[in-house]
Amino acid sequence: MKKLSLLIISLFVVGILAACGTSTKESNDASSGSEEEKKVLKMGTSADYPPFEYIDTAKGSDIIGFDIDLANALAEKTGYEIEVQDMDFNSLIPALQAKQIDIVLAGMTPTPERKENVDFSDIYYSKDQTVITLKDNDLKSVEELKDKTIGVQLGSIQEEAAVELSKQVTIKIENRNKISDIIQELKTGRFDAAIIETAVADGYFETDKNLTGFKLEAAGDAGSAVAFQKDSPVTKKFNDALIEMKENGELDELIAKWFGGEK
């Protein structure tokens, strides 16, 4: 009788354990099925371009800035996650072409030459250029740049602006990979002036009172856009999300955060 009772109890316990095991598995399966993994997009940038993208070493080692916030907002709207990769500006389009990265946000202007190699979104930020120099140099106009050495970032729209400028006045153009390198060359006297995007130049004016400058007259439409691999399926999704951000005011909020409301 005792043996029979023990057998019944054992079978009962086994049944409970089996039921719990099945329930746990079903629960895990349901859980994994409900959380769809977001696809990661590799984003190339050049983190030497505040306030678009830079590293604030006083606060940490993360890349922050307007472009980073915008990229994350667009990714969230389209169901992606962003993995940021820092590289030299002139390496960004070759990296897109080689499919090493998926998108670029780096204050990049969609010039006709670039459009031959990659695709672009609509413009998300309109901008102009500033000639930056030391106050001691006392350069206040394009005419005063005659026979001067002008620093620009390699592969940038500012490099093209310098070439256009050279048609008005004789200048020597020197390029460097990073904006910080250009500023250093300016301070050591190797450059007489540099051409930098105005929002970036304003940041340098705030932190270094020895610097000054003047705006260049805009030569046609200029602005920043997101760059994609040719015929990328992501392009339309991101552009639609960008249009949505323009229409609902989210883009203006980001501009106000990073540029004080200036467009």
Question: Per-residue pLDDT tens for 161-208?
Answer: 899 999 999 999 999 999 999 999 999 999 999 999 888 998 899 899
- pLDDT of 219 reads 52
Residue 171's CB: how many other CB atoms inside 10 A?
Answer: 19
**Per-residue pLDDT reduced to its tens digit, 2-37:** 344 444 444 444 444 444 443 333 334 333 333 356
- pLDDT of 83 reads 97
Query: What would the two tokens of residue 145 be?
Result: 């740049």
If one compares 133 and 216, the residue with the highest pLDDT of the two is: 133
- Residues 89 and 154 sit within 8 Å (Cβ to Cβ): yes
- Residues 226 and 121 sit within 8 Å (Cβ to Cβ): yes
What average pLDDT does the structure give for the chain?
A: 86
Length in residues, the chain: 263
**Per-residue pLDDT reduced to its tens digit, 214-238:** 998 765 456 899 999 999 999 999 9
Question: Average pLDDT in the 144-151 region?
Answer: 97
- The three-state secondary structure class of 97 is helix
- pLDDT of 237 reads 97
Sorting pLDDT into bands at 50, 70 and 90, what band is 127? Answer: confident
pTM: 0.71
- Between CA 214 and CA 70, with CA 197 as vertex, the angle to 5 degrees is 145
Lowest mean pLDDT among 78-92, 118-132, 249-263: 249-263
Burial of residue 3 (CB within 10 Å: 0-12, 13-18, 19+) is exposed
**Per-residue pLDDT reduced to its tens digit, 37-59:** 679 999 999 999 999 999 999 98
How far is residue 92's CA from residue 28's CA, in Å, rounded to a whole number? 42
- pLDDT of 36 reads 54
- Residues 106 and 91 sit within 8 Å (Cβ to Cβ): no
- pLDDT of 7 reads 41
Which of 126-140, 148-162, 194-208, 227-241 has the highest average model confidence (pLDDT)? Answer: 227-241
- pLDDT of 67 reads 98
- Residues 153 and 179 sit within 8 Å (Cβ to Cβ): yes
- pLDDT of 177 reads 93
